[in-house]
Amino acid sequence: MEYDIYTIIISSFKYLLMLLVPYALTSLGIMISGRAGIFNITAEGMMLLGASVTFLVTYYTGGNQVLGLLTCLAVGALFGLAFGYLTITLKLNQFIVGITFFILTSSLGSLLYKVFIGVTLTPPRVAVLPEINIPLLSQIPAIGEILFKQNIMVYLTIILAILFHYLLFKTMLGLNIRSVGENPRAADVLGINVFLVKYVTVIIGMMLMSLSGGYLLLAFTGTFTEYIVSGRGWIAIALTLFGKWSPIPILLGSLIFSGIEVTVYQLQTMGVAIPYQFLLMIPYIATMIILIWVYKRAEVPQALGKPYDREAIEE
Amino acid sequence: MSRISHPLLRKIIDVTIPYAVGITLAFIIAGITMYLTGFDVLLSYRTIFLTSFTTADSFALTLLKFITLLMLSTAFAIPLMSRKFNIGIEGQFLLGAIGATIVGLTLHLPPGIHVTLALLLGILLGALWAAIPAYLLYKFNVNEVISTILMNFIAFYLVDYVATGPWRDVVPGHPMTIPIASTSYLPLILHRPSIHIGIIISIVLTIAAYVLIFLTIYGYELRASGSNPRAANVFGINVKFLGPMSLILGGAVAGLAGAIEVTGIHYRLIEGMESNYAPLSILIALMGKGNPLAILFFAIFISVIEVGTSALQRTQGVPVELTLIVEALILIFVLVAEVMRRR
Amino acid sequence: MNQDVVNKEVPFILMKNIRKRFGNVIALDGVTLDIKKGEVLGLLGENGAGKTTLMNILYGLYRADSGEIFIYGKKVKITSPRDGIKHGIFMVHQHFKLISNFTALENIIIGTASLSKALKPMKPDYAREKIEELMKKFSLYVDLDAKIRDLPIGVQQRVEILKALFRGAKLLILDEPTTNLTPQEVDVLLKSLREMVQSGLSVVFITHKIHEAKAVADRITVLRAGKVIGTLPANKADDATLVRMMVGEKITIENSILFKGIKASIISAEAKGRPLLVVKNLYVTDELGMEVLKNISLEVKGGEILGIAGVAGNGQRELVEAIVGIRKPIKGKVIIKGIDVTNLPPSKIFSLGVSYVPEDRLNDGILPTLSVAENIILGFHKLFTKSNKVLLNLREIRKVARESIKKFDIKAPHELSIAGRLSGGNIQKLMIARALLRKPVVLIAHNMTRGLDVATTEFVLRELLRLKRMGSAILFVSEDLEELMLISDRISVMYRGEIVGNIPRERFDKYEIGKLMAGIRG
């Protein structure tokens, strides 16, 4: 294979945008419920379960990707409801529920695959998401290939981020949602249905996490392994902090993380002198360094992580 | 229940009911799911609960798993008391294993000293692995949940590097090192079946953890900083320091567990040796709410089930993830039951 | 019926037979109360009488266990604040429900659009005109684009009231609204209320201060231990009757500090010797580098109570925290018993004999998941170890806890029961018990009696006088000027981080001190 710099650069940038999706989608999911005060750290497991479910449904329906993704959304909604019940109605500690749900969903994801597919010599595949050729624009040399010839989820993710930005900062609904995350008691006395806002955002958030997992499955190889998420769910939490719980900074920040992933991949294929294990450590080390930087710019919703009890005596 | 008037008895029943409810519900759900997917439910239950007690070997296996689970749960429990979630016990465990392997492969010492040094390096590396997130927490307020998990991933790759490097044992297909020197083996207290002194170490450690947490001034300050960091701070407790310190302590314990696993069971570093110990232990610690004595009890329970489900996977094909799912469900139902009881 | 006033017309609001319990505590025991259109109803009672609970039910924040609410004779169901607001009822709580990161404008408009309107883009001038009209009409001026956290408390209160007016409130409920105002600001508020009432609004004014109720209300309803004792027109109510209605026979009013004041002989006991607490030229900055304390100097001798007056947020908290060692000053000294403690940690300062009652009892005071006993020793815990200095002396801890529970009448099932389950008043008692575990050389108390009922307040004030007689130096920080004037030997007034005045007891004057509190210098 020719060592074509041009092709490498083009494909790198293309992957950059393709990989933006799992980070951004998951992070947006964490963000939206965080804005209503719920810190949901289930992501890593929910993504795995989403990937697993998407694979199984797509596989057994002979390649129906849409049905696969819809099912994974439904599963996300279900777990979102359960998560919401435990943290909003029963007011259990969000981290404890999050860790437990992480273990539950990732085990379930592995289990389902094992039960239905089991161990095989060559893992079964489903078709990968098709690219969309935007007419005219995709003919532009280089840029056309990168920006205008992606699968639909890339465009949908970017649109979603913009939509969230508009919703949260330019409408009263967004103001209401944010007030729940800042001071639920203040929102409550003004007649805002605090519980409803929390439930809806948690469910949407979990659905996005699940969808993100389904994307990971359908966008690259079409096969499922238990390593398909490999930490991106946790890194997405860091991304949410880094992006100050705001959609556009999250979207832009996800480019950094996908950029790191692409770079590591290219370094590996180029055969750099460093042992591959250390290359693979880079994304995690980089994330920790970024978290240090977050400290100085911390801007979290004030009531994040705190359960809301209307009848609680406050001083 | 109101018939029982003796306060202590009533308190005991009060505390245990949610657990009984939780365990029962979780197993009912597991049973129903197994039935629906075509497995023999009764046989499965029998395998899960009784396998540990059928042969001496299975009993020994249960005990060995118990040792690791107990120690890792304690490693999670100590920081938990100051409201810190040490999810990194997995990575710290592996670093402890690496440490013991290094000593076992590179040094030549008389038996007592060799194994002691192996354990010590394991403790040190485990503590070090926790010290990095602890420092980030102390200096930059970096959330320890994320940072310790990231350290886990780095640890996996480190293990892969060691297991596929110059020490690799090329005979087996799976990445692992060559065996460590026999002078670094952990002494056995029983030969047939083989049970090493890790059982004593872990029980002593559990008792020490209990004393530390509930009977010492350090434990008081730890629990105070977990209960209300602001109030604790106001009244002179160095909250900023205690949280990270408890993480390092947890790391040391997890590292010890890893070192024991290498010097007592595998006698080499094997990729994947962390198995599912970490999530199992996290759930055990949460179930026991960080109380080492409660954790001891749950660890016994879970190790029995874990041995049972492994057997079940071999005989019936039920995936071993079942243990984790059931355990997670138990914890959830217990938490729910406790809230319900208070209403 | 407990009505002393018979209304011939159908009242605006009638609450009938309201009952509410929290766990085992009966908060409201069959309360019936009416509110007329265009009147100010004073709801008078001591802390814990149930006034806030009753109004929370009317507003929809709480739900009554039984009872009915009628508006102009028609029965209504109010199950959430949404319902309350729909009926024109709005409540301003003692602790403002404002979002500190948002602007005043944003706080006023939150939640006021229907769902379809809420999705439309929101211009920055949304509703600005309407709000400015309201500001002019009722003299409630606010910088709409300032963030709440940058606004002084008096202005924040105006934002809260504007919230109500913007939503077309017909009934405005104010819960202890004068807590954080200077005497002058109180006058301005009462004037605004009169203007609102004249334009048809009804007001419920919740207070535990008799003279306030008499100053502002048309009628006064007195609540005690969850029951209505009676309702009288304000001009026909004399102090003695109201006091008796408020506290019943629990207190022998003749001996009461709160109602009869302190005998001059007790309070003017001479302060002896050199000062036990000295603060010299103290400067403290916050995380952003802004000066929050400027050149603070004060002295307290043994046997003396120095009162610190000021509206909340003028540096009192920072002063207290600097003295106790939680905050490090950038300049200046704190000297206790002659020892320079300026950079010592709190534990060392406590070990010198300093006791501390922090202001924010729930957040700064207790460890909710630990037992009552473990809470009482907080701050002194290092003293309760066995000889090896490592193991806790559990028996001693439990003994001390049992004694404290008895002495301060803390209502807890057992010294080992979990502290988080205690009621607010009992938590405060626990903190006072903790502070008085050993006779303190210096006592630093911040809002020590806030939220306590009359009997407990009496008890606490007597304890303070006892400590004073025994030679403790007491720094008494309070936002309740009347209490300060009651018990202090001297008062220093804080404004914007500086001490702007020192007044000896002979010259205590509410309005003069009030001027200083508002930053108006003599």
How far is the C-alpha of C430 from the C-alpha of C447, rounded, in Å?
15
In a domain? residue B260:
yes
Interface contact A297, partner B, CB < 8 A: no
Please tell me whether residue A95 adopts helix, strand or coil conformation: helix
**Residue of A52, A281, A287 for testing the chain B interface, max B β-carbons within 10 Å:** A281
**Residue of C327, C369, C382 for testing the chain B interface, max B β-carbons within 10 Å:** C369
Assess whether B334 and B230 both reside in one domain.
no
Size of interface A-B (CB pairs under 8 A): 105
Q: How far is B153 from chain A (nearest CA, A)?
A: 7
Question: Tell me: the pLDDT tens digits for A260-315?
Answer: 999 999 888 888 888 989 999 999 999 999 998 887 666 788 888 888 877 665 54
pLDDT at A209 > cutoff 70: yes
- ipTM of the prediction: 0.92
How far is the C-alpha of C146 from the C-alpha of C156, rounded, in Å?
11
Judging by beta carbons within 10 Å of its beta carbon (0-12, 13-18, 19+), is residue A39 exposed, middle or buried? buried
Assess whether B172 and B35 both reside in one domain.
no
Question: Tell me: the pLDDT tens digits for B34-58?
Answer: 888 778 888 888 888 998 888 888 9
- Name chain C contacts of B210, Cβ cutoff 8 Å: none
- Name chain A contacts of B282, Cβ cutoff 8 Å: 99, 103
Interface contact A182, partner C, CB < 8 A: yes
Assess whether B167 and B25 both reside in one domain.
no
In a domain? residue A195:
yes
pTM for the whole structure: 0.90
Instruction: Answer whether C149's CB lies under 8 Å from C157's CB.
Output: no
- Name chain B contacts of C369, Cβ cutoff 8 Å: 223, 226-227
pLDDT tens track of chain C, all 522 residues? 444 444 457 889 999 999 998 877 788 999 999 999 889 999 999 887 889 999 999 999 899 999 999 999 899 999 888 899 989 999 999 888 899 889 999 999 988 877 777 778 877 777 888 899 988 888 888 899 999 988 888 889 999 999 999 998 999 999 999 888 888 888 888 888 988 998 889 999 999 888 889 989 999 999 998 999 999 998 888 888 888 888 876 666 666 777 667 666 566 656 677 888 999 999 998 877 888 899 999 999 988 999 999 888 888 989 999 999 888 899 999 999 989 999 888 878 888 889 998 887 767 788 999 999 999 998 888 888 887 778 888 888 999 999 988 888 888 888 888 888 887 778 888 888 888 888 889 999 998 888 787 878 888 888 888 888 888 999 999 988 888 988 899 999 999 899 999 999 888 888 888 888 887 775
In a domain? residue B52:
no
Assess whether B323 and B189 both reside in one domain.
no
Q: How far is B193 from chain A (nearest CA, A)?
A: 32
Task: Answer yes or no: do B236 and C356 touch at CB < 8 A.
Answer: no
Boundaries of domain holding B330: 1-39+318-343
- AA letter at B337: A
How far is the C-alpha of B191 from the C-alpha of B181, rounded, in Å?
19
In a domain? residue A309:
no
Token pair in block for residue A25: 């989608």
Token pair in block for residue C117: 């309107």
How far is the C-alpha of B51 from the C-alpha of B46, rounded, in Å?
8
Tell me the longest C-alpha to C-alpha distance in chain A.
71
Distances (CA, A) of C204 to B81, C51, C63: 46, 10, 19
User: Omega of the bond prior to B193 within 30 degrees of 0, cis?
Assistant: yes
Backbone φ and ψ for B317, nearest 5 degrees, come out as 85, 10
How far is the C-alpha of C408 from the C-alpha of C176, rounded, in Å?
26
In a domain? residue A138:
yes
Q: How many domains does chain A have?
A: 1
Task: Answer yes or no: do C367 and B218 touch at CB < 8 A.
Answer: no
Boundaries of domain holding A241: 2-294
Buried b or exposed e, range B79-94, using 16+ CB within 10 angstroms: bbbbbbbbbbbbbbbb
Neighbours of chain C (3+ CB pairs under 8 A): A, B
Q: What pLDDT does residue B2 have?
A: 47
Find the Cα–Cα–Cα–Cα dihedral B120, B123, B127, B128, rounded to 10°.
Answer: 50
Assess whether B186 and B238 both reside in one domain.
yes
Interface contact A89, partner C, CB < 8 A: no
Instruction: Answer whether A216's CB lies under 8 Å from A47's CB.
Output: yes
Assess whether B175 and B305 both reside in one domain.
yes
- Name chain C contacts of A176, Cβ cutoff 8 Å: 110-111, 118
Assess whether B135 and B281 both reside in one domain.
yes
Instruction: Please tell me what DSSP assigns to residue B83.
Output: T
- Name chain C contacts of A310, Cβ cutoff 8 Å: 61-62
How far is the C-alpha of C471 from the C-alpha of C458, rounded, in Å?
20
In a domain? residue B23:
yes
Interface contact A176, partner C, CB < 8 A: yes
Task: Answer yes or no: do C379 and B233 touch at CB < 8 A.
Answer: no
**CATH code, domain carrying A216:** 1.10.3470
- Residue in the block written with tokens 């029980």: B203
Token pair in block for residue C522: 């003599």
How far is the C-alpha of B290 from the C-alpha of B284, rounded, in Å?
9
- Name chain A contacts of C101, Cβ cutoff 8 Å: 182, 302
Q: What pLDDT does residue C4 have?
A: 42
Backbone φ and ψ for A158, nearest 5 degrees, come out as -65, -40
**Residue of B44, B94, B143, B343 for testing the chain A interface, max A β-carbons within 10 Å:** B143
Q: What pLDDT does residue C266 have?
A: 61
φ/ψ bin of B142: left (φ > 0), alpha (ψ from -120 to 50), beta (otherwise) = beta
φ/ψ bin of B74: left (φ > 0), alpha (ψ from -120 to 50), beta (otherwise) = alpha
How far is the C-alpha of B294 from the C-alpha of A158, rounded, in Å?
49
Question: Tell me: the pLDDT tens digits for B89-108?
Answer: 999 999 999 999 999 999 98
Q: How many domains does chain B have?
A: 2
Q: Which residue of A has its CA nearest to B151?
A: A284
Q: What pLDDT does residue C6 have?
A: 46
Nearest CB to C374: which of B216, B220, B230?
Answer: B220
Token pair in block for residue A218: 């359908």
**CATH code, domain carrying B79:** 1.10.3470
How far is the C-alpha of A146 from the C-alpha of A16, rounded, in Å?
9
In a domain? residue A95:
yes
Task: Answer yes or no: do B140 and A292 touch at CB < 8 A.
Answer: yes
Assess whether B23 and B89 both reside in one domain.
no
Q: How far is B154 from chain A (nearest CA, A)?
A: 5
Assess whether B266 and B127 both reside in one domain.
yes
Assess whether B299 and B328 both reside in one domain.
no
Instruction: Answer whether A80's CB lies under 8 Å from A206's CB.
Output: yes
- Name chain A contacts of B79, Cβ cutoff 8 Å: none
Q: What pLDDT does residue B256 have?
A: 97
Q: Which residue of C has its CA nearest to B82?
A: C369
In a domain? residue A244:
yes
Nearest CB to A291: which of B146, B158, B335?
Answer: B146
Assess whether B213 and B271 both reside in one domain.
yes
Nearest CB to A188: which of C81, C118, C119?
Answer: C81
Q: What pLDDT does residue A138 have?
A: 72
In a domain? residue A306:
no
Assess whether B100 and B225 both reside in one domain.
yes
Q: How far is B141 from chain A (nearest CA, A)?
A: 7
- Name chain A contacts of B160, Cβ cutoff 8 Å: 277
Q: What pLDDT does residue A264 have?
A: 92
* Regions in chain B scoring below 70 on pLDDT: 1-7, 343
* Chain B residues 155-194 with CB within 8 Å of chain A: 157-158, 160-161
In a domain? residue A307:
no
Interface contact B230, partner C, CB < 8 A: yes
